[in-house]
Amino acid sequence: MNKNLNQNKRNHREKNLLSLPRERLLGGYHGRLLLILTLGAALAKFAKLVLPPLLPVIAIDLSITPVLAGGALSLLTLTSAFLQYPGGKFSDHLSRKTVLVVSIFFLITGSILLLSAPSYWVFVVGVIIIGACDGLFHIPARSLLSDFYVTKRNRAFGIHLIAIDIAGILAALVAIVAVATWRAVFIPVLFAAIGVLILYHTSSRGHYVFHSVSLEFTSTMKRLFHSSSIRKLIFVNGLFSFVFQGFIGFLPLFLQAYHGFSPAFAAAGFALLFVIGLFIKPISGELADRFGGAPITIVSLFLIAVGILSLLVFSNLFILLGGIALVAVGQKAFTPPMQSILLDAVSQESNAGDYGAVRTIFFGIGSMGPLYIGIMASILGYEFAFAGFILCMLLGAFMLFELGTKYNHNSANAAP
């Protein structure tokens, strides 16, 4: 009990130390850490997202079958999902800085292994370590931003989450130009990760804390599922992840098989999802800070449903691009305010651990999206598969509307 009491005091002191009177998005201590954490998030996502488009070349180079190649990617995703909860729990009971630095060390180690991988099994170990970095980094990073920002929290998340879209765009571009030398992709990742590690270590005012931590998984699950509101939020986020993972995984194939477009157009449609995110996420955060996150998330799910419907009904080139854009706007606008909603909903005493547990659950639900659309498209066609996605988004919007403004974080109701 004394150890937990001391740890709570230490975490409280760390939050007080980090929470400065003025919430600056650019410049100052807050802005500097926001930039460093965003760079770290971009690197972690890039290392994860660049592997799928490079997989055909990697398979040839390492002389592996598609089954083994796909198995490596599955391990990447599962490791990332599995470590969301421990990452949050360690962040609560140790310190944000401790977990963030360890995760960056994982990124450095994984990059070194992939740079030198002489065999499939070394490659797999490198991939798993990259997945560990992705699983551990994001919860403490977002929890730290939640500690930093109150009135500008949604805007901070909007800026921070741009990292995912930057990583997706860079991964697509790098995969095109690095076909013959896939290992070289991880050279800049390695050096950039070392740079982020040095910057964060020297800039952060947090402390390193090491001791054993009980994960308390059962009690965490009971606490989360005891609240009907949190159950609904988990289900809505599960629906969102389910639709997005399935949609993004099959969009290029859908455009080619269902509409008969070229691979080049399909690739352009895929890239559009990430490009739009560069502009929409900060705007979404700004609007959520002014008007609250609840209406933004509800409208976002409706936009996704309308966008997917237009892809099924119309075949005109410009309407299809507009439909993809609507899906992208909805998906990117949903994420920043939902981060604040989830962090407001979970226990404030262990918000990183509970937030990580929530993400583990809905990422697990989301991982079934590609499997669903693959089976449905094969048996009944894309019409029925995508119609299911539309129903999921409408159901999610209805459930959020039912929740109302209970977790409606904005500047007005967040001010102390």
Q: Is 36 contained in some domain? A: yes
Are the C-beta atoms of residues 341 and 403 closer than 8 Å to each other?
Answer: no
Quote the pLDDT of residue 92. 73
Q: Tokens 């439909």 sit at which residue?
A: 323
Q: Is 310 contained in some domain? A: yes
- Mean pLDDT value across residues 94-114: 88
Residue 42: pLDDT over 70: yes
> Which of 203, 230, 263 is the last residue in one of the domains?
203
Which among 380, 220, 213, 395 has a CA at the least distance from the CA of 304? 395
Residue 358: pLDDT over 60: yes
pLDDT band for position 416 (50/70/90)?
very low
Quote the pLDDT of residue 40. 86
Q: Is there a single domain that holds both residue 281 and residue 251? A: yes
Are the C-beta atoms of residues 68 and 120 closer than 8 Å to each other?
Answer: yes
- Mean pLDDT value across residues 224-241: 84
- The C-alpha atoms of residue 283 and residue 288 are separated, in whole angstroms, by 9
Positive or negative, the CA dihedral 309, 310, 314, 317 is: negative
Q: Is there a single domain that holds both residue 235 and residue 186? A: no
Which among 377, 280, 270 has a CA at the least distance from the CA of 321? 270
Which tokens belong to 245? 């993972």
pLDDT band for position 305 (50/70/90)?
very high
Q: Is there a single domain that holds both residue 64 and residue 194? A: yes
Quote the pLDDT of residue 142. 77
Q: Is 185 contained in some domain? A: yes
- Give me the torsion for CA of 259, 260, 261, 266, rounded to 10°: 70
What CATH number does residue 139 fall under? 1.20.1250.20
Residue 340: pLDDT over 70: yes
- Mean pLDDT value across residues 173-186: 69
Residue 400: pLDDT over 50: yes
Q: Is 212 contained in some domain? A: no
Residue 415: pLDDT over 50: no
Q: Is there a single domain that holds both residue 98 and residue 6? A: yes
Give every CB contact of residue 331 below 8 A, 6+ residues apart in sequence. Answer: 240, 244, 273, 277, 300, 304
Check residues 56 and 145 and name the one with the higher pLDDT: 145
- Which pLDDT tens digit goes with each residue over 149-165? 666 666 777 777 777 77
Number of domains in the chain: 2
Residue 51: pLDDT over 70: yes
Q: Is 297 contained in some domain? A: yes
- Which pLDDT tens digit goes with each residue over 234-271? 889 999 988 987 887 677 677 877 887 776 676 677 77
pTM (two decimals): 0.67
Residue 8: pLDDT over 60: no
pLDDT band for position 408 (50/70/90)?
low
- The C-alpha atoms of residue 246 and residue 239 are separated, in whole angstroms, by 11
Q: Is there a single domain that holds both residue 158 and residue 299? A: no
Percent of the chain whose predicted confidence (pLDDT) is above 90: 13
- Which pLDDT tens digit goes with each residue over 18-31? 444 565 666 677 77
Could you tell me the residue range of the domain that residue 130 belongs to? 2-203
- The C-alpha atoms of residue 195 and residue 183 are separated, in whole angstroms, by 20
The CA–CA distances, whole Å, from 308 to 248, 262, 385 equal 12, 20, 11
Which among 56, 90, 94 has a CA at the least distance from the CA of 73? 56
Q: Is there a single domain that holds both residue 192 and residue 79? A: yes
Q: Is there a single domain that holds both residue 180 and residue 239? A: no
> Which of 177, 203, 229 is the last residue in one of the domains?
203
Q: Is 211 contained in some domain? A: no
Check residues 349 and 79 and name the one with the higher pLDDT: 79
> Which of 172, 203, 234 is the last residue in one of the domains?
203
Q: Is there a single domain that holds both residue 246 and residue 374? A: yes
Q: Is there a single domain that holds both residue 190 and residue 228? A: no
Q: Is there a single domain that holds both residue 194 and residue 263? A: no
Q: Is 213 contained in some domain? A: no
Which tokens belong to 306? 């309308």
pLDDT band for position 17 (50/70/90)?
very low
- The C-alpha atoms of residue 18 and residue 211 are separated, in whole angstroms, by 22
Q: Is there a single domain that holds both residue 241 and residue 342? A: yes
Task: Encode burial over 381-406: b for 16+ CB neighbours within 10 A, e otherwise.
Answer: ebeebbbbbbebbeebbebbeebeee
Residue 285: pLDDT over 80: no
pLDDT band for position 413 (50/70/90)?
very low
Q: Is there a single domain that holds both residue 107 and residue 255? A: no
- The C-alpha atoms of residue 112 and residue 394 are separated, in whole angstroms, by 45
Q: Is 373 contained in some domain? A: yes
